[in-house]
Chain A
């Protein structure tokens, strides 16, 4: 099982890339279109836990729990910060591949996005 090290992942991001990540994702509502797919965070689970999308799709996680959660990818590609109740985080997947992710506050919560 791969091991996440949150701080190491974050510190390797160049400042410009990090700014772009934060500007385009955290907390800002994303308009749901045909290219936007939704993952609900509820009862300490990602639903669906495994999601397949096409390259270029935007995935939006919406937290419906009373606890905050995070969405952090194994490869450091995306990191949400704390998503409070009712808040959301979005990421646009350009490159095909399999992207496992975890909630760093509750590491038993895991999910995968498969990009085709």
Chain B
């Protein structure tokens, strides 16, 4: 999309929202998105650098264990995504994985995933589980490896570089026939966690299933997310990062930016195109363009976050 001057109104910013694509940089300042074409941003490194320093990378839906026609080697595409992260001019301190680390919750899949993640040149990695990570009979494999930070509850928070991060789990409690659920215990914990925090604190919330309803027939949403959003609206900068749908969809509501990430394993069809949210087969040369990671940059004046999506090709 052509480079426009920063929009002066929220309506103009929303018109400029891009849906996926090879790479789009969004700078968020004071709740308004300024879109910049990534190619232009790459050509103008000095101008892009002013947008901020890399804060973390969002990785999602690696589905280690998947081995069908849509991608016969998800380990290889994950390695390419890791190479992309490691090659960034300024590597981030954090990687956040928004779930579906594995495909079938099997121990060997978790073992291989952790082995591959160890190649990331980052200081720390945080995650939340997807429904593919909690499908073992005892629902324990994910928590054995990644549960300690949350006391095996699946939800937790931490602070980094002045940003408050909240990891939530919405794949355990659900109503049959319905959407993902956070549950009252988790919502009560969020209320307590946010109590007393200055509204100027940038907040990043990450969970596997989308925290807004994209397409209910396929379960793309979280039924009680409204209660969560009510707690977040007073903050000046809120970024909500999800996975699950294997494609980028974004929207802005006031000071809240919602972003779902691409998978590093396989794409899924757009909402409603097919019997259900299964793997989408595409020509081999198209696959890398539909897989990728998201980099989140931190701007300093004013303190806010910008999202940058990158594909494997």
A-B interaction: yes
Which residue numbers of A lie inside 8 Å of B, CB to CB?
A: 1-7, 10-11, 13, 18, 21-22, 26, 43-44, 65-68, 70, 74, 79-82, 84-85, 100, 102, 104-108, 110
B52-60, B127-135, B282-290: which lies at the A interface?
B127-135
With contacts A68-B103, A82-B132 taken as known, whether A18 is within 8 angstroms of B138 at the C-beta atoms is yes
| A-B contact list, 28 entries, CB within 8 Å | A2-B175, A4-B173, A5-B172, A6-B173, A7-B134, A18-B137, A26-B137, A43-B275, A43-B276, A44-B276, A44-B278, A65-B276, A66-B279, A67-B276, A67-B277, A67-B278, A68-B104, A68-B135, A81-B105, A81-B136, A82-B103, A82-B132, A82-B135, A102-B177, A104-B131, A105-B131, A105-B135, A107-B219
Given contacts A44-B276, A65-B278, A67-B279, whether A10 and B173 have CB atoms under 8 Å apart is no
A22–B134 CA distance with the chains assembled, in angstroms: 16
B300 at interface, CB cutoff 8 A? no
> Is B279's CB under 8 angstroms from A100's CB?
no
**A10 to B177, Cβ gap below 8 A?**
no
Instruction: Name B275's closest neighbour in chain A (CB-CB).
Output: A43
Given A3-B175, A7-B134, A66-B70, output 9 extra A-B contacts at Cβ < 8 Å: A1-B178, A2-B176, A6-B134, A11-B138, A65-B276, A66-B278, A68-B104, A81-B135, A106-B219
Cα of A68 to Cα of B131 in the assembled complex, Å: 11
Majority secondary structure, A binding face: loop
CB-CB < 8 A to B131: which residues of A?
Answer: 104-105
In the bound assembly, the distance between CA atoms of A45 and B207 in angstroms comes to: 26
Interface string of B166-200 (1 = CB under 8 A from A): 00000011111111010000000000000000000
Interface residues of B (CB under 8 A from A): 68, 70, 103-106, 131-132, 134-140, 172-179, 181, 217-219, 275-279
Closest 8 CB pairs of A and B: A44-B276, A82-B104, A43-B275, A82-B135, A81-B137, A7-B139, A102-B176, A107-B174
Q: Does more than half of chain B's interface fall in helix, strand or loop, or is it mixed?
A: loop
